[in-house]
């Protein structure tokens, strides 16, 4: 290999490692955010009995190599099956690190796919902006995600996928919740001058208010899911983090989630995904 070719491989690896570093940082950002209704934070285990912030840290540490591998795979033009194998291996690593707890199952999928797409953009020297990212994700893996995301019995009834939209449908549709809910809310709260912490809190509540989170559905059924959305909507309608009593309102919301044993793990993953996309597009920008 010529010196120039070697240099270009090194540069490519450095870019991918930077993207993987942003992925780990975005998941860490989600974990340390407090307050979060029903979710694990460093100060509360929310509605969980089997995981703590330490369990998440162990999981995150075990996954750091996965994010490098999947970003590099995206940069190397890997097909969906290769990405899927990396995802399945990462799920095993997570389960070993947490002794069987599903800390990051959704994130391995969502953040993994976004890392692969960012890798593909970086290697083409294209801007890591929202529109390009969504386009390249769908161009490269959209058809496979569609196949993976829609069980045969649903294929003839596409609107159903919108009614109960879980992790697979999110990816298949190019992460509408990240691009159409998460990022607009994050940037709106930042533009209002309330800072990074408030922006993440508002983004999480905006996501809980609008997505169909399969975790909430499994734990609380349709009534629990409707209640979780209504509580988050109320928090946002009362001004989100824009009022002086927002911490008390958020704590009250957490109490109600815990009383109903609800945990919006899907929304938490989508908050982390939103942070990743924001960090990648703003390399010189705001640092929490």
Ligand X SMILES: CC(C)(COP(=O)(O)OP(=O)(O)OC[C@H]1O[C@@H](n2cnc3c(N)ncnc32)[C@H](O[C@H]2O[C@H](COP(=O)(O)OP(=O)(O)OP(=O)(O)O)[C@@H](O)[C@H]2O)[C@@H]1O)[C@@H](O)C(=O)NCCC(=O)NCCS
DSSP state, residue 103: S
Question: Cα(124)–Cα(266) distance, rounded to whole angstroms?
Answer: 31
Of the two residues 148 and 194, which places its CB atom closer to ligand X in the complex?
A: 148
CA distances from 133 to 57, 110, 118, 128, 142 (A): 28, 13, 6, 6, 12
Of the two residues 49 and 153, which places its CB atom closer to ligand ADE in the complex?
A: 49
In the chain the first and final C-alpha atoms are separated, in Å, by 41
> 148 Cβ partners below 8 Å, 6+ apart?
80, 84, 168, 172
Site for ligand X in 157-186 (CB under 6 A): 165-168, 170
Question: Cα(268)–Cα(213) distance, rounded to whole angstroms?
Answer: 10
Taking residues 33 to 72 in sequence order and writing x for each that binds ligand X by CB under 6 A, - otherwise, the string is ---------------x-x----------------------
Q: Omega before 35 cis (within 30°)? A: yes
Among 16, 19, 23, 31, binds ligand ADE (CB under 6 A): 31
Question: Cα(32)–Cα(205) distance, rounded to whole angstroms?
Answer: 16
87 binds, among ligand X, ligand ADE, none (CB under 5 to 8 A by kind): ligand X
Among 101, 116, 268, 276, binds ligand ADE (CB under 6 A): 268
Taking residues 44 to 73 in sequence order and writing x for each that binds ligand ADE by CB under 6 A, - otherwise, the string is --x-x-------------------------
CA atoms within 13 A on the CB side of 208: 34
Q: With CB under 6 A, what is the number of residues at the site for ligand ADE?
A: 10
Sites of contact with ligand X (CB under 6 A): 48, 50, 83-84, 87-88, 102-107, 109-110, 112-113, 165-168, 170, 211-215, 218-219, 263, 265-266, 269-270
Sites of contact with ligand ADE (CB under 6 A): 30-31, 39-40, 46, 48, 263, 265, 268-269
């Amino acid at each position: 290999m010529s010196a120039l070719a070697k240099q270009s491989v090194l540069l490519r690896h450095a870019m991918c490692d930077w993207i993987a570093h942003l992925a780990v940082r975005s998941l860490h950002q989600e974990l340390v955010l407090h307050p979060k209704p029903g979710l694990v934070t460093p100060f509360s285990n929310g509605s969980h009995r089997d995981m703590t912030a330490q369990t998440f840290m162990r999981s995150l540490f075990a996954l750091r190599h996965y994010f490098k591998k999947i970003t590099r795979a995206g940069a190397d033009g890997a097909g969906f099956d290769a990405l899927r194998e990396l995802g399945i291996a990462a799920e095993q690593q997570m389960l070993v690190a947490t002794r069987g707890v599903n800390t990051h199952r959704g994130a391995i999928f969502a953040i993994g796919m976004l890392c692969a797409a960012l890798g593909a953009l970086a290697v083409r020297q294209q801007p890591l902006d929202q529109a390009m990212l969504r386009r390249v994700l769908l161009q490269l893996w959209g058809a496979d995600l569609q196949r993976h995301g829609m069980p045969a019995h649903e294929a003839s009834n596409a609107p159903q996928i919108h009614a109960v939209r879980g992790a697979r449908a999110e990816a298949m549709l190019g992460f509408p919740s990240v691009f159409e809910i998460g990022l607009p809310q994050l940037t709106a709260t930042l533009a209002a001058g309330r800072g990074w912490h408030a922006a993440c809190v508002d983004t999480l509540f905006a996501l809980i208010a609008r997505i169909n989170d399969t975790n909430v559905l499994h734990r609380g059924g349709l009534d629990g899911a409707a209640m979780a959305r209504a509580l988050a909507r109320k928090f946002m309608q009362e001004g989100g983090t824009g009022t002086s009593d927002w911490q008390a309102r958020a704590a009250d919301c957490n109490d109600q989630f815990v009383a109903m044993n609800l945990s919006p793990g899907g929304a938490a993953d989508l908050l982390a995904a939103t942070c990743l996309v924001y960090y990648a597009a703003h390399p010189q920008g705001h640092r929490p």
